[in-house]
Structure 1
């Protein structure tokens, strides 16, 4: 039947993929369609494995069109130096801010990454910026991104010397939200706070309920991701991404 691709025919598949590349390139550069540029970048990365070309398209689509997903992916490239771009957390930070503010696909991930980099301080001129970290974690948390809610909880548990006072009521609020969104350590932290009466009245029943929820989710996560951290104390001090990961990379000048 005309129009159908015989995927058993290597030459026919190659021709089909080559035609896709031509079509996406036309969409991007002739029709000036930002979504076409994103498709072209994905094609270069996923089909052609040409990361240098993918990086060039992402840069064009982010800087010229302000495309949120392209800015996010370009930021991710700058974290590790993928595609021949400069490995630079400061540049990645700028890309993630553009993606976060643009909205759309990957925006909450980008907001979370801005929060991480501000919290960590390696991308910042003056070191960690808890105010910026809070602002962008709040945006990601409001978008349903559980690790940002958890990190907000950790921020308010710890406080810092740069003007962010500990606030156990807010810490509990965000731990509960992280738990609602499925974050194991959000449930564990909220349970501990109800048991101790941190930021709330003591509530053993609620503490036990959240503890059991954390245990159930931990078993489920362990089956997929391996053993999680065993110490609630460690979780209280963790200000990284979910499951204890943090962004690699270096600040650069």
Structure 2
């Protein structure tokens, strides 16, 4: 059994982790391996808790190596900051769903029919943490934009995040940009990210400066979100068929979508209960 680590031996674990850091550093700085740089950043973050050093590695890997996943991770650092912050000022928390995740019928009889007793609250992607890497929404926007354009494993999430920040407007000097939000939501939706499809539906329901309300397109994206398992996409599409918004009334289709929303909602509740056991 030689070579196995005794994780109950503190000294042995420390030696193992130190060797791991040396290996990742070699991969990044000597072999110039972008994946090795990402592993090094994860090591500095998760093991050493040196968030500033991790951010430096991520920035280098993003800007010099064009590594999309590193750009995305650096963007998440800048959303709310990362690490011990001391007396530095914090950025306000960005809740990317606060203005998007309320269904259009949330206060109506239809929501009660579905068995929902409160507004949906999707757990946001980002949460406030003490900050050694300063929070900066503009820096986050730039990082997500690079990641969206570069591609990689986090491309859809990066494009969605650009859409959220453009929709919210705090990262942009000129304020909210519905056109940019739509464009980046469309990219992420096209890659199968249900939240982006739903947000597109909301954009077309409400309209925005430079973007006219279009219930037909709103229904299209609500249905796409529903197919991807988004409960509120199904619920909103159900309501639109019931009321004939953007489509001729179809009570059978409305009922089918309502039942699908209830099924998804039940599955989510069961998953939460299982996780909490």
TM-score range, shorter chain: 0.7 to 0.9
Q: Deviations over 1:151-177 (max 9, x none)?
A: 0000001112x2211111110010001
Question: 1:18 offset after TM fit, Å?
Answer: 0.8
Alignment of 1:148 onto 2:209: no
Q: 2-side partners of 1:4 and 1:224: how far apart?
A: 35
Q: Any idea what the Cα deviations from partners look like across 1:125-158, whole Å, max 9, x if unmatched?
A: 1111111000000011011111100000000011
CA–CA distance in structure 2, aligned partners of residues 182 and 49 of structure 1: 36
2:32 aligned partner:
32
- Counterpart residue number, 2:185: 137
Could you list the runs of 5+ residues in structure 2 that have no partner in the other structure?
A: 84-131
Alignment of structure 1 residues 30-179 onto 2, 5 Å: 30-83=30-83, 84-160=132-208, 162-179=209-226
Structure number having the greater helix percentage: 1
Q: What's the CA shift for 1:44?
A: 1.1
TM superposition shift of 1:72: 0.6
Contact 2:141 2:171 in 1 (8 A): yes
- Kept in 1: contact 2:51–2:133 (CA 8 A): no
* Alpha-carbon offset, residue 203 of structure 1: 0.9
Deviation at 1:7, TM superposition (A): 2.6
Answer yes or no: is the 8 Å Cα contact 2:235–2:258 preserved in 1: yes
Deviation at 1:181, TM superposition (A): 0.7
The ranges of structure 1 where at least 4 consecutive aligned residues each deviate by more than 3 angstroms after the TM superposition are 223-226
The Cα of 1:85 is off from its aligned counterpart by: 2.5
Distance (Å, rounded) in 1 between the aligned partners of 2:19 and 2:9: 16
The Cα shift of 1:104 comes to 1.2
Aligned CA RMSD, in angstroms, stands at 1.4
User: 1:66-95 CA deviation, whole Å, 9 max, x = no partner?
Assistant: 211111111111111214233111110000
- Number of residue equivalences: 225
Distance 1:224 1:53 in 2: 37
Residues of 2 paired with 1:218 and 1:2: CA distance? 49
1:215 equivalent in alignment to 2:262: yes
Q: Distance in 2 between matches of 1:8 and 1:121?
A: 49
Equivalent position of 2:124 in the other structure: none
Structure 1 stretches lacking a partner, 5+ long: 227-253
Distance in structure 2 (CA, Å) of the matches to 1:16 and 1:105: 28
Q: Distance in 1 between matches of 2:72 and 2:239?
A: 35
| Cα distance in 2 between the residues matched to 1:44 and 1:126 | 36
TM-score (norm 2): 0.78
Distance in 2 (CA, whole Å) between partners of 1:122 and 1:116 is 10
